[in-house]
Amino acid sequence: MAQFDMPEDRLRSYRPAIAEPEDFDSFWTATLQDARAHSLDLTATPVDNGLALIDTLDVTFAGYDGNPVKAWLHLPVTRTGALPAVVEYVGYGGGRGLPHERPLWAMAGYAHLIMDTRGQGAKGPKGDTPDPDPVGDPAIAGFTTRGIASPETYYYRRVFTDGVRAIDAVRELSEVDASRVAVTGTSQGGGIATAVAGLAPGLVAAMPDVPFLADFARALTITDASPYAEITAYLKVRRDQRDQVMRTLSYFDTANHAKRASASALYSVGLMDQACPPSTVYASYNHYAGPKEIRVYPFNGHEGGQAFHEIEKLRFAAKPLGG
């Protein structure tokens, strides 16, 4: 697929006016207060991952509405004292996987928490966290239209809250230095990482790769690729609900969360990416309030920089995490 979005020089300055509801901050303050009214119910149980150099703990904590959320915590076997931590959120449709699958950050010397995404992981990587609060309203297959009639019932209200509670949880673990926590993720995971960077104070770094969930107004008209296509399919049938849907999405547009983030950020973008069009990534990046850098992959789509970008992230994370 050739480059189809704006030329790169225009992307660098693309900073659209993103619709933001007046009660955006109070909505999220109340949402997180409600979540924190529940006990964190944090447990961390060692499991056999079959790896000689990495220890893995099966972590459970209370997310949105006190629902249990699963995660893996990977640690280098040889460690002294509390470690800086990288919290990772996973891509659309995936789960935390199996305990041996993602050793990179622990091999680099960090504590690495991989959060399951509620209701996802049936197709792979495997997930273990149900979504016990599904809304019975009509929805397109997938997750992006679940409860989309209202911000109170929207699926990503639960997911973003889980993401913040994952930060609360990792900071409680004795193996982790609570003052040195970063977030990362690819695609959906990158969108969650951006939202959490705006909602959880005190993070030292955010590394969103080819992030999803930004600049919905443009994404829904520029790409036919999923997952954005789920929302356009929904509106194709429910022609009278456009304003209602766009209002809901404004609470979850991560460009609005990026405006509130202060951690040092490293973004990535693929200029041939149809799933998360480059302009939507730049909308988030250009609104990001903290110190920031972006790595551009001109001839790549949604795969982004892959192993090449992992090197970039390791280099970037070393300074704020002190690794």
The predicted-structure confidence for 222-250, as pLDDT tens digits, reads as follows 999 999 999 999 999 999 999 999 999 99
CA–CA dist 194, 205 (Å, integer): 10
Please compute the mean of the pLDDT values over residues 130-159 and round it to a whole number: 91
Return the pLDDT at 323. Answer: 52
Residues 6+ apart with CB under 8 A from 88: 102, 105, 112, 113, 114, 115, 183, 184, 185, 189
Which homologous superfamily does the CATH classification assign to the domain defined by 8-321? Alpha/Beta hydrolase fold, catalytic domain (3.40.50.1820)
Which one is catalytic: 112, 287, 302, 309? 302
Q: Percent of the chain at pLDDT above 70? A: 99
C-alpha closest to that of 285 among 12, 5, 6, 9: 12
Helix (H, G, I), strand (E, B) or coil at 219: helix
Return the pLDDT at 7. Answer: 94
Is the distance from CB of 276 to CB of 188 less than 8 angstroms?
no
Return the pLDDT at 130. Answer: 93
Q: How confident is the model at residue 121 (pLDDT cuts 50, 70, 90)?
A: very high
C-alpha closest to that of 51 among 109, 125, 101: 101
Backbone angle region of 81, left / alpha / beta, with phi > 0 → left and psi within -120 to 50 → alpha: left
Per-residue pLDDT at 123 exceeds 90: no
CA–CA dist 181, 288 (Å, integer): 18
pTM of the shown model: 0.98
Model pLDDT for residues 185-205, shown as the tens digit of each residue: 999 999 999 999 999 999 999
For 243, phi and psi rounded to 5 degrees? -60, -40
Query: Residue ranges of the domains in the chain?
Result: 8-321
Per-residue pLDDT at 136 exceeds 80: no
Whether 302 is catalytic is yes
Q: How confident is the model at residue 135 (pLDDT cuts 50, 70, 90)?
A: confident
Model pLDDT for residues 33-79, shown as the tens digit of each residue: 999 999 999 999 999 999 999 999 999 999 999 999 999 999 999 99
Per-residue pLDDT at 134 exceeds 80: no
Whether 48 is catalytic is no
For 176, phi and psi rounded to 5 degrees? -115, 140
Which one is catalytic: 112, 162, 187, 284? 187
Per-residue pLDDT at 133 exceeds 80: no
Rounded alpha-carbon distances, angstroms, from residue 209 to 50, 85, 187, 302, 312 = 29, 18, 6, 9, 11
CA–CA dist 275, 297 (Å, integer): 15
Whether 187 is catalytic is yes
Model pLDDT for residues 271-313, shown as the tens digit of each residue: 999 999 999 999 999 999 999 999 999 999 999 999 999 999 9
Helix (H, G, I), strand (E, B) or coil at 61: strand
Lookup: tokens for 12? 């660098």
Q: How confident is the model at residue 181 (pLDDT cuts 50, 70, 90)?
A: very high
Helices in 131-277 by DSSP H: which ranges?
Answer: 155-172, 188-199, 216-222, 228-237, 242-250, 254-258
Which one is catalytic: 273, 279, 287, 309? 273
CA–CA dist 34, 85 (Å, integer): 26
C-alpha closest to that of 168 among 187, 196, 194: 196
Model pLDDT for residues 78-104, shown as the tens digit of each residue: 999 999 999 999 999 999 999 999 999
At position 184, the amino acid (one-letter code) is T
Please compute the mean of the pLDDT values over residues 11-30 and round it to a whole number: 98
Secondary structure element (H or E) that encloses residue 117, with its range = none
